[in-house]
Amino acid sequence: MREIVFDTETTGFKFSEGDRLVEIGCVELVNRVETGRTFHAYYNPERSMPAEAQAVHGLSDAFLSDKPVFAAGVADFLDFIGDAPLIAHNASFDFGFINGELGQCGFPPVCHKTRMIDTLAISRQKHPGAKHTLDALCSRYGIDRSHRVLHGALLDAQLLAQVYVELMGGRQIGLGLSLEPEAVDSGPVVTTTPRRQRPIRVFAASEGEIAAHAAFMKGVSDPIWGTVASG
């Protein structure tokens, strides 16, 4: 089962009031295991960045000035997410901005009824009365977030992917023996990191071990197995 965990950064809270998307980060899961494939992009919002928003994610007008607009990279984004379920924390917020940008480009919205998974709602159901921020959930599940100084879409998506697995009961090791399918590169924004594999274990005795065993056997007098064999 393929799923995409994602996060966005924006200029504010409401697309309908003129706020825009400035960053998307996506992490691919297959059977709730990270594959190493990610999508990450910055976008020029074609408007100024409010100081309060910049204080959250650190993305300035100067930094975003040479980045493409969302419409220029929408095809890469849609290719990466495909038809997979989309997982986000407070997902209605992120879906609102993605669908707002898609609509402005003339693309149909991503269906929130069939594809949206909200980890905030899952956390509230699983841990009533507790704190449900991403930081709080990382602390609950022992996920290292020491490198999270500012909000960042890809970093937050990577942390959320670990949180999501824990919310759903923890990682279960699959029994499949097939190799991972080769990742299809859809551009420089997509990265593929090879998954770590255990080295092949060799169970045959070495020549040195065989020689040591033979020397040991020569020192055994009147072995019981010799009596059984001759009986």
Cross-strand partners of 112: none
Name the catalytic one among 112, 132, 151, 213.
151
Which residue type sits at 196?
A: R
Long-range contacts (CB closer than 8 Å, 24 or more residues apart) made by 211-219 = none
The answer to whether 7 is annotated as binding is yes
Q: Give the separation between CA 130 and CA 123, rounded to whole angstroms.
A: 9
With beta carbons less than 8 A apart as the criterion, state whether 42 and 50 touch: no
The answer to whether 182 is annotated as binding is no
Tokens of 14: 């409401």
Is 151 assigned a catalytic role? yes
Smallest Cα–Cα separation from 146: which of 133, 157, 159, 127? 159
The answer to whether 156 is annotated as binding is yes
The answer to whether 40 is annotated as binding is no
Which residue in the block uniquely carries the two structure tokens 């990265």?
A: 191
The answer to whether 144 is annotated as binding is no
With beta carbons less than 8 A apart as the criterion, state whether 99 and 21 touch: no
For β-strands 33-42 and 21-30, DSSP reports them as: antiparallel
With beta carbons less than 8 A apart as the criterion, state whether 22 and 42 touch: yes
> Which residues make up each annotated binding site for a divalent metal cation?
7, 9, 156
Residues marked as catalytic: 151
